[in-house]
């Protein structure tokens, strides 16, 4: 089945599919909007199976364009955080035939796409032809290309087939027990696989998506959960650090909220406990995934949150996860190894990149690059990414352990540890923090806390207090950018605070 047909099969015609401020787009209106865009693509000469770019913020137009592009060909979501050069390189890499773009982004970034046909959100306000062709069911055909790198030299696009997307969406619906009554508040961009999976799962059950595009002020999200009676919320670690430290989420009763999802990186156990306590009526689902897995790979059932605190759980339905050592055999409890995944949701590889595909995907498995241990019951605990460890004084230092201790300080809202080049140590452990709004952090006191809880070789040599940490388009901490920023600061101000 075509994935767009799968997503639109259940929604009742008069039920709100997308809520964007005062605009409420029903399933009937969404189907009409998607068919209108398909017709415009056909009139522009776009052939079935062609790659179709999609650029814009979360909106009803983005959703309709996404469905239309997958119905006719292969959708290629672009990040609106990228510049013109990166977008041009990505569009060239996958040979986009046309681009769907909202008018605001067209004014700012439209030059990236050269002479390609461009269709804007203006078409939804015009009378015109509609088309929703009957398409052959080919589960192995590409439905989407999801970029994981914005570099102009070598973009990397993950192939997600119709079968991949249907399998992963079905599995997530199963483990979260989603129904048509679920109403998800979305702060994550849809061009990011975690954000896209929220869209997939709620459309597939005939539920509703409520958009919040202003999470810089997290109180807006809390207000929307309340006013729109949202049953679900999802975020990455930085989302929850901000939500718990800079909004009323922890002391405001949100009676409609039933399911809270956390993925996109490891949230510290202390903050997981705080998150669970903040809204006792809502179940917290700790999840784990990768773009190469079409979104999610594992979840920790909420009733095990305390017993297995810090774990990402085990594979979602249809997914098998193993932690393998360097010999390729399953680790014993406590022994670190790499997480390897199998399942119908695993991508067939990267677009036009057989070498990278061979390294990441072997014999139908996904080598995640994430290092983890297991306990005696098979629950998985991530200890870091293979490339993230700091190599200092001959030790392999886990940034996560340092960050967890730093976040235990009541004045710290965000923390990130990185290694900077150092002639003596190899890499100097360096910590960047962001203070809780309207609070200051005594750097010396924080340093004493770190010394009291960490081995000497893990204690940061320098702590920088920043106004904000650089983030990726999906809201994760951008550590390469952070390293560059801190290296620049170090060359100017070699001190413990800034």
Q: Do 155 and 233 fall into the same domain? A: no
First to last CA, the chain: 56
- When divided into structural domains, the chain yields a total of 3
Q: Do 336 and 411 fall into the same domain? A: no
Q: Do 190 and 155 fall into the same domain? A: no
pLDDT, position 362: 87
Residues of the domain holding 364: 167-199+207-385
Whether residue 143 is contained in a domain is answered as yes
| Model confidence pLDDT, tens digit, residues 79-133 | 998 999 999 999 999 999 999 999 999 999 999 999 999 999 999 999 999 999 9
CA separation for the pair 86, 90 (Å, rounded): 6
Q: Which long-range contacts does 458-462 make (Cβ < 8 Å, 24+ apart)? A: 458/395, 458/397, 458/398, 458/401, 458/402, 458/429, 459/429, 460/402, 460/417, 460/429, 460/430, 460/431, 461/425, 461/428, 461/429, 461/430, 462/428, 462/430, 462/431, 462/486, 462/490, 462/494, 462/495, 462/496
Q: Do 333 and 295 fall into the same domain? A: yes
Whose CA is closest to 400, among 392, 386, 389? 389
Query: Given phi > 0 = left and psi -120 to 50 = alpha, else beta, which region is 426?
Result: left
Task: Identify the domain boundary among 363, 385, 407.
Answer: 385
Whether residue 498 is contained in a domain is answered as no
Task: Identify the domain boundary among 351, 385, 419.
Answer: 385
Whether residue 435 is contained in a domain is answered as yes
Whether residue 185 is contained in a domain is answered as yes
CA separation for the pair 264, 296 (Å, rounded): 9
pLDDT, position 140: 96
Whether residue 497 is contained in a domain is answered as no
Q: What is the CATH number of the domain that holds 75?
A: 3.40.50.12780
The Cβ of residue 23 has, within 10 Å, a number of other Cβ atoms equal to 12
Q: Do 368 and 222 fall into the same domain? A: yes
Positions of the chain with pLDDT under 50: 150-152, 493-498
Q: Do 248 and 364 fall into the same domain? A: yes
Q: Which two tokens stand for residue 247?
A: 């909004």
| Model confidence pLDDT, tens digit, residues 132-176 | 999 777 999 999 999 985 343 578 999 999 999 999 999 999 999
Q: Do 139 and 186 fall into the same domain? A: no
Q: Do 305 and 325 fall into the same domain? A: yes
pLDDT, position 153: 53
Q: Do 411 and 320 fall into the same domain? A: no
pLDDT, position 150: 38
CA separation for the pair 142, 137 (Å, rounded): 12
């Amino acid at each position: 089945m075509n994935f767009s047909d799968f997503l639109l099969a259940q929604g009742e015609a008069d039920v709100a599919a997308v809520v964007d401020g005062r605009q409420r787009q029903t399933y009937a209106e969404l189907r009409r909007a998607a068919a209108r865009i398909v017709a415009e693509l056909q009139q522009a000469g776009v052939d079935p199976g062609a790659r179709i770019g999609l650029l814009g913020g979360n909106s009803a137009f983005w959703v309709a364009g996404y469905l239309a592009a997958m119905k006719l060909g292969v959708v290629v979501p672009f990040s609106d955080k990228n510049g013109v050069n990166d977008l041009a390189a990505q569009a060239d890499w996958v040979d986009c035939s046309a681009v769907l773009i909202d008018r605001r982004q067209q004014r700012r970034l439209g030059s990236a796409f050269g002479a390609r046909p461009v269709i804007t959100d203006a078409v939804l306000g015009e009378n015109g032809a509609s088309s929703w062709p009957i398409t052959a069911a080919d589960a192995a055909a590409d439905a989407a290309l999801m970029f994981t790198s914005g570099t102009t030299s070598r973009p990397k696009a993950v192939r997600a087939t119709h079968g991949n997307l249907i399998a992963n969406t079905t599995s997530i619906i199963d483990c979260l027990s989603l129904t048509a009554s679920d109403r998800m508040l979305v702060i994550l961009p849809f061009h990011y696989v975690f954000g896209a999976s929220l869209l997939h799962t709620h459309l597939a059950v005939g539920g509703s998506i409520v958009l919040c595009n202003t999470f810089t002020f997290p109180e807006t999200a809390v207000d929307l959960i309340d006013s729109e009676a949202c049953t679900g919320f999802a975020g990455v670690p930085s989302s929850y650090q901000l939500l718990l430290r800079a909004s009323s989420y922890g002391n405001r009763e949100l009676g409609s909220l039933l399911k809270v999802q956390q993925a996109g990186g490891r949230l510290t156990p202390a903050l997981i406990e705080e998150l669970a306590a903040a809204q006792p009526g809502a179940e917290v689902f700790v999840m784990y995934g990768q773009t190469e897995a079409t979104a999610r790979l594992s979840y920790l059932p909420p009733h095990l949150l305390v017993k297995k605190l810090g774990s990402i759980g085990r594979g979602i339905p249809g997914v098998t996860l193993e932690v393998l050592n360097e010999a390729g055999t399953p680790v014993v409890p406590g022994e670190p190894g790499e997480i390897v995944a199998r399942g119908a949701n695993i991508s067939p590889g990267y677009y036009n990149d057989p070498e990278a595909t061979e390294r990441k995907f072997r014999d139908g498995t996904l080598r995640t690059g994430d290092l983890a241990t297991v306990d005696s019951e098979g629950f998985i605990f991530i200890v870091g990414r293979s490339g993230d460890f700091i190599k200092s004084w001959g030790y392999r230092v886990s940034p996560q352990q340092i960050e967890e201790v730093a976040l235990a300080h009541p004045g710290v809202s965000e923390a990130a540890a990185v290694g900077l080049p150092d002639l003596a140590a190899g890499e100097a452990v360096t910590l960047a923090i962001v203070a809780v709004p309207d609070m200051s952090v005594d750097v010396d006191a924080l340093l004493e806390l770190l010394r009291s809880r960490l081995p000497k070789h893990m204690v940061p040599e320098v702590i920088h207090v920043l106004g904000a940490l650089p983030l990726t388009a999906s809201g994760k901490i951008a550590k390469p950018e952070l390293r560059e920023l801190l290296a620049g600061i170090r060359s100017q101000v070699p001190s413990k605070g800034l």
